[in-house]
Chain A
Amino acid sequence: MSSTTEAEAGRRPIAEGLFTWPDEEPRLIGSRCTACGEIAFPRKGACLRCTSTDLEERLLGTRGTLWTWTVQGFRPKASFGLPEDEEFVPYGVGYVELPGETRVEARLTESDPARLAIGMEMGLVIVPLWNDGEAEIVTYAFAPTKEED
Chain B
Amino acid sequence: MGTQANGERVAIVGVGIYPHGRHPGVSASAMATDAIRQALTDAGVEWGEIDFAAGGCVLTGEEPDSLVGALGLTGVPFTNVRNACATGGAALLSATSALRTGHGELAVVVGYDKHGRGAFNLPPAQFGLDDWYGEQGMMLTPQFFAMKIQRYMHDHGISDSTLAKVAVKAYSNGSRTPSALRRTPMTEEQVASSRMISPPLTQYMFCSPDEGAVAVVLATERKAATLGVKPAYVRGIGLRTRSYGSLEVFSPSVPIAQTDSPTVPAARAAFAMAGLEPSDVAVAQLQDGEAGAEVMGMAETGLCKHGEQEALIQSGATEIGGSLPINTDGGMIAHGEPVGANGLRQVREIALQLRGDGGERQVPGEPEVGFTQVYGAPGVAACTVLATS
Contacts and interface: CB of A to CB of B under 8 A. Distances in A.
A104 B146 CA distance: 16
B119 A40 contact: no
A73 interface: yes
B158 to A, nearest CB: 13
B199 interface: yes
Contacts of A49: 244-245, 255
Interface in A96-112: 97, 100-105, 107
A139 B136 contact: yes
Interface residues of A, number: 41
A41 B197 contact: no
Contacts of B196: 71, 73
Given A41-B253, A118-B150, A81 B136 contact: yes
Contacts of B24: none
A83 B138 CA distance: 16
A81 B253 contact: no
B198 interface: yes
A38 B256 CA distance: 10
A129 B138 CA distance: 13
A9 interface: no
Contact of B119 (A77, A81, A107, A139): A77
Contact of A73 (B130, B136, B197, B254): B197
Interface residues of B, number: 38
Interface string B205-239: 00000000000000000000000000000000000
Given A14-B135, A15-B130, A69 B254 contact: no
Interface in A73-108: 73-74, 76-82, 91, 93-95, 97, 100-105, 107
Given A70-B150, A70-B199, A97 B256 contact: yes
A80 B137 contact: yes
Contacts of B244: 48-49
Interface string B114-153: 0000110111100000111011111110010011101100
A49 B197 CA distance: 34
B27 interface: no
A103 B253 contact: yes
Nearest to A141: B136
A73 B139 CA distance: 14
A81 B136 CA distance: 6
Contacts of A144: none
B135 A30 contact: no
A107 B139 CA distance: 12
Interface in B135-176: 135-140, 143, 146-148, 150-151, 154
Contacts of B253: 30, 40-42, 102-105
A67 B251 CA distance: 14
Given A71-B199, A118-B151, A14 B254 contact: no
Interface of B: 118-119, 121-124, 130-132, 134-140, 143, 146-148, 150-151, 154, 195-201, 244-245, 251-256
Interface of A: 14-15, 18, 30, 38, 40-42, 48-49, 67-74, 76-82, 91, 93-95, 97, 100-105, 107, 113, 118, 129, 139
22 contacts: A14-B135, A15-B131, A48-B244, A49-B255, A67-B151, A71-B199, A72-B137, A72-B143, A73-B195, A77-B119, A79-B121, A79-B131, A81-B135, A93-B147, A94-B147, A102-B255, A103-B256, A105-B138, A107-B136, A107-B137, A107-B138, A118-B151
Closest 6 CB pairs of A and B: A79-B134, A81-B135, A15-B132, A68-B151, A70-B146, A41-B253
